Structure 1
């Protein structure tokens, strides 16, 4: 039986750890643990000594004592993760590592633990990728779009994205980022006119495009970095419910194509249809549309490399002859990171789930909003 005081035993054990003498450190710290008040005992040091000797069970017991006293102890959590990693239980290891790193983001990382934290982060990334491969193998191929969505949420490659329109929210609609063009047969008739529309675009001078983001004299200027910037250009065929006569005459094929689309007819507000041009280096910042009762359609007229459209947690590119149909009431952004100009035919359509009677009511409502000036 030792006669040394608990503090002396701890000091001896810590000195032995610094000298990399795990056996002597373990003997001293075990003896200290028998007589020292639990709240004062350096349990992580004892765990470190036991682990160096290969005594995983004793190391885990010491860490459990520390976590019982301080459940968010970053060092102890990291050490527990290491134990489970060595035991081959990746899910348990990831749970301790994730908790440790989340706590470190709040309270800071203990000095000297930088390497352990970096290794934990790397292991979590590897384990996450292994888990995704496992899920892919388990479920196999040929999944429905709904199951692909659910699997993406489980993998962490998708998020639950919600409609957040800035003006009008119609309850009960499905939360879908993109729609399948095959669900809209009238698109085939539009696409048959694509070569003629491309020829019309080629005949239009570049300076015919106006900035998409503009200010009105009777309203405050929008807080948008692209205000008045032709990098995001617009050539309108319909604007606020009325055709743009001059442009319609110059582009009869495009107007014929738009006639196939079920665009909302709301005097003073809709439809809106235009060529939307994005110059190289242009970024349309994340934003939300005004309504969730419509969908936005992009028919690619001139595609360009490295151009992306993100809707919620899903990102797509514009491909020749492939329309993109999306819900702009979800957060979305667009970017042209390539060297060429991208131009799409942009227009709005009624969302197919909204019944005819409600479409008529919504049209009356939006027309009333557009025409209201507050005068008696």
Structure 2
């Protein structure tokens, strides 16, 4: 049959009135007549039909109507919410969570979400929390006892107890390296000798009263870094090697420290490395989350003065410095540091190649980095 737009509008009004008085059968019949006729230029009332089927407890019809609406408009917030609610009533937590998540994500990027949907969005959020708790209980009841460390960490990711972080260097990403935020100090044969030099390094540091400058500095030829610690001595550095060159005025006062550094596998890249410095963080200072330039290196911290209340987060893992125990981490992960104690924290900071990068790759990467820097001033880590 053919149906004019005026006839379709009249039937739609009758259907809406039937919904308001709770007459699902009458509403269903009105909307089905419109859908069967498919009047030209008239939107098909799939959502209204779904609501009519909800009243008449015709679950299959309600589901089919919602599927039809989502086939036409996959990101229709109302349809996603109603389908999530349908799956909730069906007892399908996973499907309900999927539809609710899609609705919430779409609402987050949609301007002027109708106020009528706000209660349903809040219901979706509450359901997702409850469903997550049920899923966690289900898994933990079945997976009991100690797990292997990697299984345990992956389980925490699955259950939302741990956030996933990946390498995201701000300048250069080297393909194929393992995703490891921290490396064990026991993996490197040279660590023990360096750690044994901590007392001598500390003695030299305590004998020096000046030489520290703000870690984050501006370059007048470049935009200033967007860092709240720009020019702030609360996070300061005393450079021994900088941009591949010895900082003689400082290095001459640290003979034991320089001798210890000379034995380490620090990269040699013209204009860039070696780099080695003392990094000082005063009480109450917070280095905001950020990423380093490269994922080809590891940053090493030898804690010289490590009071309580100081910490370092790399990805999802948090570490507290302990004096004389080297910390080795990949700074291409999001990382941050803080001093919540009452004393200043100082570490000796330097970089090494990642052990997974072989000698031939190191040679090629060195040439590549030198070529990049030859195009203009080298990019400098500013935290």
**One fold, TM greater than 0.5?**
yes
Tell me the residue number matched to 1:336: 338
For 2:185 and 2:197, the matched residues in 1 are separated by 16
2:182 to 171, 178, 200: 178
1:78 to 60, 78, 81: 81
CA contact (8 A) 2:28 2:52 kept: no
Tell me the residue number matched to 1:232: 235
Tell me the residue number matched to 2:70: 67
Tell me the residue number matched to 1:115: 119
Tell me the residue number matched to 2:381: none
2:330 equivalent to 1:319: no
1:87 to 82, 90, 113: 90
Root-mean-square deviation (CA, aligned residues, Å) is: 3.8
For 1:309 and 1:79, the matched residues in 2 are separated by 41
CA contact (8 A) 1:336 1:342 kept: no
The 1:37–1:355 alpha-carbon spacing in structure 2 relative to 1, beyond 3 Å, is: closer
For 2:375 and 2:44, the matched residues in 1 are separated by 73
The 1:161–1:295 alpha-carbon spacing in structure 2 relative to 1, beyond 3 Å, is: same
Structure 2 residues without counterparts, runs of 5 or longer: 1-6, 378-383
2:208 equivalent to 1:210: no
Structure 1 residues without counterparts, runs of 5 or longer: none
CA contact (8 A) 1:300 1:318 kept: no
Q: CA deviation at 1:112?
A: 0.7
Q: CA deviation at 1:228?
A: 3.0
SS in 2 for 1:208: coil
1:44 to 34, 44, 47: 47
Once the two structures are superposed, the pairs formed by residues 9-48 of structure 1 within 5 Å of their partners are 10-18=12-20, 21-22=21-22, 25-38=23-36, 42-48=45-51
The 1:128–1:42 alpha-carbon spacing in structure 2 relative to 1, beyond 3 Å, is: same
For 1:11 and 1:367, the matched residues in 2 are separated by 73
- Greater shift, 244-253 or 171-180, is seen at 244-253
CA contact (8 A) 1:232 1:276 kept: yes
Once the two structures are superposed, the pairs formed by residues 112-261 of structure 1 within 5 Å of their partners are 112-128=116-132, 130-131=134-135, 134=138, 138=143, 141-145=146-150, 147=151, 157-159=162-164, 161-162=166-167, 164=169, 166=171, 170-198=174-202, 200-205=204-209, 207-215=210-218, 219-220=221-222, 222-225=224-227, 226-248=229-251, 250-252=253-255, 254-255=257-258, 257-261=260-264
SS in 1 for 2:115: coil
Q: Normalized against structure 2, the TM-score is what?
A: 0.75
SS in 1 for 2:100: helix
Q: CA deviation at 1:211?
A: 1.6
For 2:218 and 2:61, the matched residues in 1 are separated by 70
CA contact (8 A) 1:294 1:349 kept: yes
Q: Normalized against structure 1, the TM-score is what?
A: 0.76
CA contact (8 A) 2:70 2:76 kept: yes
